[in-house]
Homo-oligomer: A and B are copies of this chain.
């Protein structure tokens, strides 16, 4: 299965850190790509390239200018579009069904998500029906749908690797 993220309406000042966290979580939790709309922000794309160089993998951050069309095309090409929202159906009710999908696009907003997304997606899914964070929602979705893959996945091609340690910071250079 292949999962990508679509971050809607990025605002360059207000959202920089949250959108960067989203991309880092996408990468660490084994999504393939993060698309984003709103303000184009090369600093986020550069940040992720830098992390790939240090720690491996080829996670990409890609700007798109027409997210509604992008979602429609995703579905036309056979992919599944899922909007993560506190108003949706709990992930636990859909887990078996979603695990059988081949290509998933996970959509998260910044502030209020326009009505149209609730309508054009295949699923509106909640990670609790409480307000919290799109970063947490993406992490728990990926952890559960990919069944903990992030704990065993190894990224290739990076300059460094961390050796888990109970007290120390063990970072070794591998190339």
Q: Is the CB of B87 within 8 A of A151?
A: no
Q: Which residues of B contact A143 (CB under 8 A)?
A: 140, 143-144
A37 close to B (CB within 8 Å): no
Cross-interface CB contact of A167 among B14, B124, B144, B167, cutoff 8 Å: B124
Q: Which residues of B contact A126 (CB under 8 A)?
A: 162, 164
A129 close to B (CB within 8 Å): yes
Q: Is the CB of B165 within 8 A of A89?
A: yes
| Minimum Cβ distance to chain B for residue A153 (Å) | 8
Cross-interface CB contact of A131 among B55, B88, B124, B130, cutoff 8 Å: B55
Known contacts A133-B135, A139-B133; A29/B124 CB under 8 A: no
In the complex, the chain B residue whose C-beta lies closest to that of A170 is B87
Dominant secondary structure of chain A at its interface with chain B: mixed
- How many angstroms from the CA of A131 to the CA of B28 in the assembled complex? 7
Q: Which residues of B contact A28 (CB under 8 A)?
A: 128, 130-132, 136
One complex includes copies of this chain to the number of: 2
Of A19-27, A63-71, A72-80, A98-106, the one with at least 4 CB within 8 A of chain B:
A19-27
A18 close to B (CB within 8 Å): yes
- How many angstroms from the CA of A24 to the CA of B131 in the assembled complex? 7
Cross-interface CB contact of A162 among B86, B165, B170, cutoff 8 Å: B86
Cross-interface CB contact of A140 among B90, B130, B140, B166, cutoff 8 Å: B140
Q: Which residues of B contact A29 (CB under 8 A)?
A: 128, 132, 136
Q: List 22 A-B contacts (CB under 8 A).
A: A25-B133, A28-B128, A28-B131, A28-B136, A29-B132, A55-B130, A86-B162, A87-B164, A88-B164, A88-B166, A90-B164, A91-B151, A118-B168, A118-B169, A123-B166, A124-B166, A129-B161, A130-B150, A130-B162, A133-B135, A140-B143, A143-B143
